[in-house]
Structure formats: structure tokens, C-alpha cells
Structure 1
Amino acid sequence: MSTPFDEQIEELQATYRAQLEQIGELQRRMREVSGTATAKAQAMKVTVGPQGELTAVEFPTNAYRRMTPKELADLVVSTVQEARAKATAELAQVMTPHLPEGLDAEHLLRGTADVGRLMPRDPAMPEAVREYVDQGRISRDTGDGPRIAHN
């Protein structure tokens, strides 16, 4: 025996399954993100994954052999930073269509996004709840239904 809600429930389930599939695809795309940077004079090339983890280091030329340890260390750091910036930009590009309007994905990934501004300072709620939150009690009746006093 079917009910009037069966069709709505099936539609909700189909929508839910489609959203799960989209989330799975988004996660797959996020895992595939990488960033590659090549240092000046092709002294080194690095690749990082979506979390900025170093996944490959190459020395296409022998240029690194003429560097002092400090020069090589500085080159490694700056090249990895460049690769991480590229990976972050690519990850942001993948994520942006799935974020609320006004939320910058690169700022979110760097931990500098102001996510607090996406939430209302004064959230919508029934008047009885607002009164309880503001005053710690609810009056007995205000004409729109019974209310219980909490002291």
C-alpha cells in the first residue's frame, strides 16, 4: 500500500544519492590536485599534493652542485612554497563552486577566511526561544499560544 508521501520520499532519496555522488566526485578531484614549480635555471623541480606534502623532487640539471648549502636550502624552500601556492590555487578552483557565496576558497584553505560573517549575528528563532535566550524565562501567555515560565 502506497502513501501520498511515497513519491516525495523517493525524490528526496534520489536527491540525496545525487548529492553523495557529487561529494564523492569532489573528494576525488581534491585528492588529485597537485602543484609543480621549477626553480630558476632549472636547478630543481618539486611537486606537492593537495595538502602541500612534497611528492617529488627533481634536479633536471647539475646547477645545484654549484650552490652553497644555504643557497640550495633557500632554493628548496622557495620552490616548495611556490608549488604549494599553485596547489592551493588549484584546490580553491575545485572547491569554489561548492562553497557558500562570499566564502573565498583560498582564504579558507589558508585559515584566513572570515567564516563568522557567513553566520548571522542574530539568528532567526521563534519569539518564545528569543525571550528565553535573552531573559532566561518565557512568559506564560502572550496571546499567540501558551508559554511556560522558567525561572
Structure 2
Amino acid sequence: MEDEILTRLAQAKAQMDATRAAVARAEQELRRTSVTVVSRDRAVEVTVGPQGEISGLQFLDGKYRTMGAPHLAASILEAAGEGRAQMARRVMDAFQPLEEPLPSLPEDLALVPGLEFDWKDVFGSMLDIGNTGAQDRSATAKLRDEIVEDGENG
């Protein structure tokens, strides 16, 4: 009986060590990851880093010269939002395997049944970008920018 318990504990420790190593690999891989997105009007290119930060912004083909401020702002926000959503999905994909229960542990010793992430809590509405409601938010952002601009001029 004691040998069986020691064997199970050794299995649990091995699984925990494997989980720690998998988390470290995923974190290291994500630190080197970025996503680059071009706005729908092809005026702006935004690069987003692993924590959702904007690490690059380029104005393409001089289109910004003929755009009004609200339109340019909307293009930047659209590309940044899509980039952040794509990065959030990459993070979720990287950590997805760690949510699974540890298969080699007996149920009575499943000390860590799998990590549980509340992705909506971690990323909030960022996960909704790219879904059907994203266009509504983009239109709202454009309207908000125009209202602010009108307020400054009037």
C-alpha cells in the first residue's frame, strides 16, 4: 500500500514538473511573438506584442495625407483592436493544453486537475473583435471621434 502511494506521488510530481515546463515554454514562445494587422482601408499597419501592447505603427502609401482625423483614428483603432484580438487568441491557444486534466493521475490523487482560465476575465471584450459585433464598435468609435472633433472646432 505504501509503495503504491509513493508511486502515485512520484507520478504527480512528474506531471507537475511537466506542467511547469510547458508553462515556461509557452511563456518563452509568447515573449517572441507579435501580430501585424493592416486596416480594412489599407491605410494603417499595426504590430501588437504579446501583452496586447502596440509595438509598431506604420501609415501605408501616404493615404493618411488625404484622410480626416476621425477616419485615420478609426483605422488605427480598428487595426490595433484586431491585432490585440489575434494575440489574445494565440495566448489562449498556447495555454489551452494546460487546461486539460492530468491524465496519468488517478482521480483520488489528481492534485491539479488542470489549470482553469477565465479567458473572458483575462481579455475582456478583446475576444469579441472579429465577431459580428466588431463592426458596430468600429462605427461607434468613428462617431465618437467625429463628435470630439466637432466639439473642438465649434
Match of 1:109 in 2: 122
Report the alpha carbon displacement of residue 108 of structure 1 after superposing the two structures with TM: 4.2
* 1:44 maps onto 2:44 in alignment: yes
What residue is the counterpart of 2:27 in the other structure? Answer: 27
Letter in 2 for 1:63: K
Distance in 1 (CA, whole Å) between partners of 2:96 and 2:121 is 10
**Contact 2:50-2:87 at 8 Å conserved across structures:** yes
Q: Work out whether 1:54 is the aligned partner of 2:54.
A: yes
- Quote the offset at 1:60 in angstroms: 2.6
Extract unaligned runs of 5+ from structure 1.
113-151
CA RMSD of aligned residues (A): 3.1
**Which residue pairs with 2:90 in the alignment?**
90
- How many residue pairs end up in the alignment? 109
Opposite residue 87 of structure 1, the aligned amino acid is M
Q: Give the Cα–Cα distance (whole angstroms) in 1 for the partners of residues 121 and 60 of structure 2.
A: 34
Which sections of structure 2, spanning at least 5 residues, go unmatched? 102-115, 126-154
Query: Which deviates more from structure 2 when the two are superposed, residues 47-56 or residues 92-101?
Result: 92-101
- Tell me the distance in 2 between the aligned counterparts of 1:26 and 1:55: 20
**Whole-Å Cα distance in 2 between the matches of residues 100 and 14 of structure 1?**
16
Deviates more, 1:103-112 or 1:79-88: 103-112
**Max Rg structure:** 1
CA contact (8 A) 1:36 1:86 kept: no
Give the whole-Å Cα distance in 1 for the aligned partners of 2:81 and 2:11.
47
SS of aligned partner of 2:50: coil
What do residues 16-65 of structure 1 show as CA deviations (whole Å, max 9, x unaligned)? 44333222112112323333210134211001112110011112311111
TM-score normalised according to structure 2 size: 0.56
Letter of the structure 1 residue corresponding to residue 123 of structure 2: R
Q: Equivalents in 1 of 2:71, 2:98: separation in Å?
A: 41
Q: Following TM superposition, by how much is the alpha carbon of 1:15 offset from its aligned partner in structure 2, in angstroms?
A: 4.6
Q: Cα distance, 1:80 vs. partner?
A: 0.7
- Structure-2 separation of matches of 1:106 and 1:82: 17
What is the percentage of aligned positions where both structures have the same residue? 23
Is the contact made by 2:41 and 2:75 (CA closer than 8 Å) also made in structure 1? no
RCO comparison, higher one (Cα < 8 Å, 6+) = 2
One-letter amino acid of the counterpart of residue 77, structure 1: L
